Each structure stands twice: as structure tokens, then as C-alpha cells.
């Protein structure tokens, strides 16, 4: 195999599939080659080689020479990666513009009507699901916070507190200015000192002491109407394996988790600002 397994994993991490990784590595090793030559070197079916090489060219990794037969030229890896990054930025901006145009068009009314029709057929208790991966968790948390109108009650870990600081400080600050009451109970340690300092200005923060309450975990309750609860310890699993449970069940939020939060809150000690 051309290229170490570590290199192949790194290329997979930037979005290249198996055939793309093999063919690009083979081309880099040859400098210039035909599709047939690369197919043999990379052990990729010839019927797929042309399409994959065209995709690599579209992504900025390969230059195609219009000769007969077609030849493919390797450009310096750093230059290829920079071209690929530039193209991703352009595609992202293009997609962002399309989304903004859709949000600003009359079609958004149709989408809202469809959503409203769907909600009539579903009880809030059925709006429940599992979230996997840190990105999905942070996105759902952001959505919950943005819709808050009266209260946000949080029990979290030092790592979770840092996530609040790094990813949600802006929206929490705006909610505080609007009068939303934010309470955060957490275990205090040195890892979260900056987060505590920043969050204490916009929320009431309390320290969960192990002697008073041997509790470790994360849950978030918004307006007593929806909640998220951690199903894994993010310090023991990879961020892609982080799991949380989310529900719009007011019964679960208001009658089950908020009383638990109240108990934690009473047992916790205020943090000095």
C-alpha cells in the first residue's frame, strides 16, 4: 500500500474516500500518470478510476492534462490542500447564501405551514430523541437556549461548564439581558476557572460539593418545558461518541428533572463573583 495507515486515516479525516485516498497517494508517488497506470498502482477498479480522478480534480487535488490518453498531474501537497480548503470555503458560502435566500423568501411560510401541520399530529411527549456526537449535542443545546423565555437550569461537569463558556456564552448573555434567569450548578475545579468567572456575570453559579451531594453528570432544563440529559461521560468517551437524551415532554422536565435540580441547587454552595 502506498502511504502509511496513519496518512490514510488523516486523508479520510479531511473527507477523502478510500478510492480518492489511494489514487491521490499513487499519483503523488508517480508525479504524472494515466488512469490505467494509477488503477494498477492503487488497486482501484479501472471502471471507477476516471470518475474518482475527476472528483479529485474538482476538489483541487489533481490537474488533468487534455492529452490522449488523459494524463493526471500531481501538484505539491500543501498547494493541493490549500486549493481544497479554498473550494470548501466557496461551497460553504454558496450554500449559506442559498439558505439565507430561502429563509427570506415566501417559501419559508410554506415550510412553517408544513411544520405546523405536523405538530398538530404529534404530542409534545413524542418529540423525543437521542443525540450522538458533540456537534449534534451543542447544536441542540443552542436551539434550546435560543427559545428560552423565562429560565434555564443547568447541572454540569467542569468540562461541560467549559463547553458552555466556549460555545454558548454569547446567547446566554443575550438571554440574561432579556431577563431569562440562568442557574448553573457544577463541581468547581481549576479547569473551569475562566468559565466560572465569565458565566458568573450572567448566571447564578453554585458549587456541588461531593460531601453534600455525590452527583456527577449533565442535564439542562429550559422553561420547565424541555430538557437534555447526558447519557455518557464526555471525559471517558470520544467526542463523536458523546450521547444525550432530549425531550419536549413538559411532564419529564417540570415534574421529574426540575425537582431534582431544585434539590441539587439547595445542596450546593454559592460561588463568589
Supply the pLDDT for residue 187: 86
DSSP 241-255: G-EEEEE--HIIIII
Supply the pLDDT for residue 273: 62
- Report how far residue 262's alpha carbon sits from residue 49's, in angstroms, rounded to the nearest whole number: 62
Lookup result for grid cell 441539587? 264
- Report how far residue 265's alpha carbon sits from residue 206's, in angstroms, rounded to the nearest whole number: 7
pTM of this structure: 0.60
Same fold, 5-75 and 125-270: no
Supply the pLDDT for residue 130: 86
Supply the pLDDT for residue 121: 56
Residue spans of alpha helices (H) in the chain: 5-13, 18-30, 35-42, 46-59, 77-103, 107-120, 134-146, 158-177, 193-199, 250, 258-267
DSSP 74-124: E--HHHHHHHHHHHHHHHHHHHHHHHHHHHTSTHHHHHHHHHHHHHHTS-G
Burial label for 27, CB within 10 Å (0-12, 13-18, 19+), is buried
Q: What is the mean pLDDT of residues 56-61?
A: 89
Q: What is the mean pLDDT of residues 215-219?
A: 84
What does the mean pLDDT of the chain come to? 87
Q: What is the pLDDT of residues 16-50, one digit of tens each?
A: 999 999 999 999 999 999 999 999 999 999 999 99
* Multiple choice CATH, 5-75, 3.90.1150.10, 2.40.50.180, 1.10.10.10, 1.10.10.60: 1.10.10.10
Domain boundaries, the chain: 5-75, 85-121, 125-270
- Report how far residue 151's alpha carbon sits from residue 170's, in angstroms, rounded to the nearest whole number: 16
Q: Domain spanning 125-270 has what CATH number?
A: 3.30.870.10
Supply the pLDDT for residue 250: 86
Confidence of residue 123 (pLDDT cuts 50, 70, 90): low
Phi and psi (nearest 5°) for 158? Answer: -55, -40
Supply the pLDDT for residue 111: 82
Supply the pLDDT for residue 43: 92
In this model, does residue 183 exceed pLDDT 80? yes
Q: What is the pLDDT of residues 227-268, one digit of tens each?
A: 999 988 877 788 888 888 999 888 889 989 999 999 999 988
Supply the DSSP symbol for 191.
G
Q: What is the mean pLDDT of residues 131-137?
A: 88
- Report how far residue 189's alpha carbon sits from residue 163's, in angstroms, rounded to the nearest whole number: 15
- Report how far residue 151's alpha carbon sits from residue 164's, in angstroms, rounded to the nearest whole number: 16
Residue 145: Cβ within 10 Å count: 20
Beta-carbon contacts of residue 236 (< 8 Å; ≥ 6 apart): none
Amino acid at each position: 500500500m502506498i502511504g502509511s495507515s496513519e496518512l490514510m486515516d488523516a486523508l479520510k479525516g479531511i473527507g477523502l474516500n478510500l478510492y480518492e485516498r489511494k489514487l491521490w497517494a499513487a499519483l503523488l508517488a508517480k508525479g504524472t500518470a494515466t488512469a490505467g497506470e494509477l488503477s494498477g498502482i492503487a488497486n482501484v477498479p479501472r471502471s471507477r478510476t476516471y470518475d474518482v480522478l475527476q472528483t479529485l480534480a474538482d476538489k483541487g487535488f489533481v490537474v488533468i492534462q487534455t492529452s490522449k490518453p488523459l494524463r493526471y498531474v500531481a501538484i505539491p501537497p500543501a498547494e493541493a490542500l490549500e486549493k481544497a480548503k479554498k473550494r470548501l470555503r466557496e461551497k460553504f458560502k454558496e450554500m449559506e447564501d442559498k439558505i439565507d435566500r430561502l429563509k427570506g423568501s415566501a417559501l419559508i411560510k410554506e415550510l412553517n405551514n408544513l411544520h405546523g401541520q405536523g405538530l398538530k399530529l404529534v404530542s409534545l411527549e413524542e418529540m423525543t430523541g437521542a443525540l450522538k456526537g458533540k456537534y449534534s449535542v451543542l447544536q441542540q443545546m443552542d436551539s434550546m437556549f435560543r427559545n428560552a423565555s423565562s429560565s434555564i437550569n443547568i447541572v454540569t461537569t467542569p468540562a461541560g461548564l467549559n463547553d458552555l463558556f466556549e460555545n454558548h456564552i454569547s446567547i446566554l448573555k443575550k438571554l440574561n439581558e432579556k431577563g431569562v434567569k440562568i442557574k448553573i450548578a457544577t463541581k468547581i475545579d481549576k479547569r473551569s476557572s475562566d468559565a466560572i468567572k465569565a458565566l458568573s456575570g450572567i448566571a447564578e453559579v453554585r458549587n456541588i460539593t461531593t460531601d453534600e451531594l455525590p452527583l456527577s453528570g449533565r442535564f439542562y432544563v429550559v422553561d420547565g418545558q424541555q430538557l437534555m440529559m447526558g447519557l455518557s461521560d464526555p471525559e471517558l468517551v470520544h467526542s463523536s461518541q458523546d450521547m444525550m437524551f432530549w425531550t419536549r415532554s413538559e411532564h419529564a422536565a417540570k415534574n421529574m428533572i426540575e425537582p431534582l435540580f431544585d434539590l441539587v441547587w439547595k445542596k450546593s454552595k454559592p460561588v463568589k463573583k
